[in-house]
A and B are shown apart, each in its own frame.
Chain A
Amino acid sequence: MTPTDTYSGPAIELIEVAKHYGKVTVLDRVDLTVAPGEFIALLGPSGCGKSTLLKLIAGLDELSHGEIHIAGRLANYLKPAERDVAMVFQNYALYPHMTVRENMGFPLKMSGIARDIVTAKVDEAASLLQLDAQLDRFPDELSGGQRQRVALGRAIVREPYVFLMDEPLSNLDALLRVEMRAELVRLHKRVGRTTIYVTHDQVEAMTMANRIVLMKGGVVQQVGTPAEIYATPANTFVATFVGSPPMNLFKGRIEQARFRGAFDTAVPARVMPGDVTLGIRPEHVEIVEAGEKEALAATIDLVERVGPDAYLRLTTQGRATVTARVDGASRAKEGERVALRLPPARLCFFDAAGNRMIVDKEG
């Protein structure tokens, strides 16, 4: 019986977690509360501090400031093994001098669990991950996907309170990555443990996570469900980092309920006048008949066909570049002159600092 069995509060609480190396700030006062069983993705470009945060939670690095609570216990001063967490590393970190069975059973053996129980648990995890046939092999005799599974298995056999995963799929080829993604989600549903998953791949984060923590430069930009992050990005960074192709952004001014910049278009009346950045997702850009109300004349520079969709790279008369996402069957041709419309209800507005302005759409 671990103390966590009767605990019912948040699984993980981060309070003002900061990390400095000398004068360089890698993490700046991160606050986060994770509910039990949640699948959280730490998403961001490389160097954003997401891996550092994961290492701090695991206890592999020391905090400069703040507190980490795991299952209600202050974890700052606990050794990694005392935190009841298991980690899957980017390069798997399998012990090359041990067989798959030894690798998976090692943490249990180290905590003094009887050999027959270790064997049973390893067998169980191996069959769950379809590794039964590989148990007596060494890591360098396995394929990338199999190594990945062994790394997972090593974490699973410990039945930890929290799973920590550091870009576990980034070394797999594209096909295998999609497959493992689904498998990880299945696994999470099955064992139901709190999971924190570091990735730089927005697709992974969007498809797998209950909530995404988007980071940049050591600062949390936004915390929310994938849908929230996509629909209401907190700032221009989030707007462009999530979504492919990224959101169109245009700098300009709001005057008399109109956006004036490289082009001129109507916006909802409630938007405050002043300097803004206007944003719209490519799929919300409408291609319309010339002469329609609020239509902007544009030329198609480039048509990228990606199967079901086609991406149009357009230039307006005011030399603004707009990306539109249209049906893959579209007959649009490069060099063609078209008209486009930016529906006011679909527009996002960001202030001079790049932060999202709250606009009451009803107004």
Chain B
Amino acid sequence: MGLDARVMPAAPSGRLRLAPEEHRRLSRNRRLKREVLGWAFLAPMFLCFVIFLVLPVLGTVWWSLRSGGLAGDTKFVGLKNFIDLPDIVGASAAVTNTLVFALISVPLILVGALAIALLLARIERGGSIYRFLIYFPVLVPGVVAALIWLFMTNVDFGLFNGVVRGLGGKPVVWLGADHALTVLAILDVWRNVGYWALFFVAAIIGLPKELYQAAELDGASAFARLRYLTLPLMRRIIFFAVVVATIWGLQVFDTALVLTSGGPGTATTTVIYRVWLYMFGATNKIGVASAISLVLIVTILLLTLVQMRLLRGRRGGD
């Protein structure tokens, strides 16, 4: 729409009092002013965006093609880092761990959140209290959450084993190689289920009520209403949640660092954890670190694009 000024004098008729060139010059000036104005408003934020987000993304590509350490003296090695990636035990384990983590936590978070939301949207009284309580873990920094869970998962006096003992079972080594990643994922469920529950509540409340009244008149059971109304109507919302929750899940780092220090062994070393180790550990594999970062970034970008396509579809190609 900023283009129309350019069409200015289509066919000079001689009735205009100002010469076409004058019109052109004046409208060009005005357009220029608007351009300057727009960019002036945008610039402060946009500069930060370019310097601290766009450039680092490009920088990741650049670094991923080099070898060496943070100290300097890196050299160009082409795609070697990517070709080697599957064979570097630490790196491939990190990718696997992160994927397994997301695969456990995301479905649990979303199914749990949806169940809570379905109940929460229908209760008549006391909703705000539940909202407050359910949302509270969301506001806990990952580091603090991990500290709390470190405590609860302690083999000797932790809450978990307290419960297990109370039920007559044998104490479990929660943070051992068998369970550590699962515990980490459950911790993530604890932290995120409230966020998505309230997200879904908002979506459910926004659903058209008439449909439900009609369904009820048609004699649809509660389950049928869920199966044939709520879930289909919320398909896109749920898909959005799946994508975003997955993207968040792929970034897991702080809880792994505090709860298990990535261990035992590399059992809970996630992608970002590995990048950090490569950067500051003795290994100095800055190129490999960037290569796995790039894998993460590209995965996230792809998920974002899928998301955008879907949302675009909903608006009818706007």
Q: Which residues from chain A sit less than 8 Å from chain B, CB to CB?
A: 15-16, 18-22, 62, 64-67, 69, 74, 76-77
CB closest chain-A residue, reference B15: A15
Q: Within the complex, which residue of B1, B17, B26, B29 is in contact with A15, where a contact is CB–CB below 8 Å?
A: B17
Contact A62 B4 (CB under 8 A): yes
Given contact pairs A76-B26, A77-B26, A64 touches B15 in the complex (Cβ within 8 A) = no
Q: Is the interface of A mostly helix, strand, loop or mixed?
A: strand
- Specify which chain B residues have a CB less than 8 angstroms from the CB of A67 in the assembled complex: 16-18
* Minimal Cβ-Cβ distance residue in B for A62: B5
Question: Is B7 positioned at the interface, with any CB of A under 8 Å from its CB?
Answer: yes
CA distance A74 to B17 in the complex (A): 9
B29 contact set on A, CB distance < 8 A: 77
CA distance A19 to B7 in the complex (A): 10
Q: 1/0 contact trace for B13-28 toward A, CB 8 Å?
A: 1011110000100110
Taking a contact as CB atoms under 8 Å apart, the answer to whether A22 and B5 are in contact is: no
B9 close to A (CB within 8 Å): yes
CB pair A65–B26 under 8 Å, yes or no, is no
- Besides A62-B4, A76-B26, A77-B30, 11 more A-B contacts (Cβ < 8 Å) are A16-B15, A21-B1, A21-B4, A62-B5, A64-B4, A64-B5, A64-B7, A65-B9, A65-B10, A77-B26, A77-B27
Q: Judge whether B3 is part of the interface by a CB distance below 8 angstroms.
A: yes
Q: How far is the CA of A18 from the CA of B15 in the complex (A)?
A: 14
Residues B1 and A22 in contact, CB atoms below 8 Å apart: yes
Residues of A within 8 A of B7 (CB): 20, 64-65
Q: Is the CB of B1 within 8 A of A64?
A: no
Residues of B within 8 A of A64 (CB): 4-5, 7-8
Instruction: Give A13's nearest chain B residue, CB to CB.
Output: B17
For B13, give its contact among A16, A20, A74 (CB under 8 Å).
Answer: A16
Instruction: State whether B4 touches A20 (Cβ < 8 A).
Output: yes
B5 CB contacts on chain A under 8 angstroms: 62, 64
B13 proximity list for chain A (CB < 8 A): 16
Q: A22-B3, A64-B7 are in contact. Are A76 and B15 (CB under 8 A)?
A: no
B23 contact set on A, CB distance < 8 A? 76
B8 to chain A: which residues have CB within 8 Å? 64-65
Query: CA–CA, A56 to B1, complex, Å?
Result: 15
Tell me which residues across on chain B come within 8 A of A21, comparing CB atoms: 1, 4
In the complex, what's the smallest C-beta–C-beta distance from B138 to chain A, in angstroms? 33
On chain B, the residues within 8 Å of A22 by CB distance are: 1, 3-4
Residues of A within 8 A of B15 (CB): 15-16
Chain A to chain B contacts (Cβ below 8 Å), 8 pairs: A16-B15, A20-B4, A21-B4, A62-B4, A64-B7, A65-B7, A67-B16, A77-B29
What CA separation (Å) do A16 and B17 show in the bound complex? 11
Residues of chain B lying within 8 A (CB to CB) of residue A15: 15-17
Q: In the assembly, what is the distance between CA of A74 and CA of B18, in Å?
A: 9
Find chain B residues with CB under 8 A from A62 CB.
4-5, 27, 30
Give the docked Cα–Cα distance between A124 and B8 (Å): 44
Q: How far is the CA of A22 from the CA of B162 in the complex (A)?
A: 71
Q: Which residue of A lies closest to B4 (CB)?
A: A64
Nearest-Cβ distance from residue A131 to partner chain B, whole angstroms: 36
In the complex, which residues of chain B have a beta carbon less than 8 angstroms from the beta carbon of A77?
26-27, 29-30
Residues of B within 8 A of A19 (CB): 4
CA distance A76 to B25 in the complex (A): 12
When C-beta atoms are compared, the residue in chain B nearest to A21 turns out to be: B1
CB distance from B222 to the nearest CB of A (A): 41
Identify the closest chain B residue to A74 (Cβ): B18
Chain A residues within an 8 Å CB radius of B17:
15, 67, 69, 74
Question: Residues of A contacting B16 with CB < 8 Å?
Answer: 15-16, 66-67
What is the minimal beta-carbon distance from B195 to any residue of chain A, in angstroms?
32
CA of A20 to CA of B9, assembled, Å: 12
A21 to B9, alpha carbons, bound, how many Å? 15
How many angstroms from the CA of A313 to the CA of B211 in the assembled complex?
Answer: 42
Contacts of B145-190 to chain A: CB distance below 8 A:
none
B25–chain A nearest beta-carbon distance, Å = 10
Q: Which residue of A lies closest to B9 (CB)?
A: A65
- Which residues on A sit within 8 Å (CB–CB) of B3? 22
Cα separation A19 to B10 with both chains bound (whole Å): 12
Distance (whole angstroms) from the CB of A70 to the closest CB of chain B? 13
A16 to B5, CA, bound (A): 15
Residue among A18, A21, A67, A77 with the highest chain B CB neighbour number at 10 A: A77
Expressed in whole angstroms, the minimum distance between the Cβ of A109 and any Cβ of chain B is 23
Q: CB-nearest residue of chain B relative to A64?
A: B4
In the complex, how many angstroms separate the beta carbon of A62 from the nearest chain B beta carbon? Answer: 6
Q: How far is the CA of A255 from the CA of B11 in the complex (A)?
A: 43
Docked CA distance A69–B17 (Å): 10
Please name all residues of chain A whose beta carbon is closer than 8 Å to the beta carbon of B27 when the two chains form the complex. Answer: 62, 76-77
A20 neighbours in B (Cβ, 8 Å): 4, 7
Which of A21, A22, A64, A74 counts the most B-chain CB atoms under 10 A from its CB? A64
A352 CB, min distance to chain B CBs, angstroms: 28
Instruction: Give A65 to B7 CA distance when docked, in angstroms.
Output: 7
In this complex, what residue of A is CB-closest to B34?
A62
Least CB distance, A82 to chain B, in whole angstroms: 13
Minimal Cβ-Cβ distance residue in B for A19: B4
Kindly state the separation between the CA atoms of A9 and B202 in the bound complex, as whole angstroms: 61
Instruction: Give residues of chain B (259-314) contacting chain A, Cβ–Cβ below 8 Å.
Output: none
A77 CB to nearest chain B CB (Å)? 5
- Docked CA distance A77–B30 (Å): 7
B22 to chain A, nearest CB (A): 9
State the Cβ distance, A284 to closest chain B Cβ, in Å: 40
How far, in whole Å, are A16 and B7 apart by their CA atoms in the complex? 14
- List the 8 closest A-B pairs by CB distance, nearest first: A64-B4, A77-B26, A64-B7, A67-B16, A65-B10, A20-B4, A15-B15, A62-B5
Nearest A residue to B6, CB-CB: A64
Report which residue of B1, B4, B5, B10 has the largest number of chain A beta carbons within 10 angstroms of its beta carbon: B4
State the CA gap A20–B3 with chains docked (Å).
10
Closest-CB distance, B11 to chain A (whole angstroms): 9
Specify the chain A residue showing the minimal Cβ separation from B26: A77
Give chain A nearest CB distance to B105 CB in angstroms.
44
Bound together, the chains give a CA A77 to CA B26 distance in angstroms of 7
What separation, in Å, do the CA atoms of A21 and B5 have in the docked complex? 10
Residues of chain B in range 8-60 having any CB-CB distance to chain A below 8 Å: 8-10, 13, 15-18, 23, 26-27, 29-30
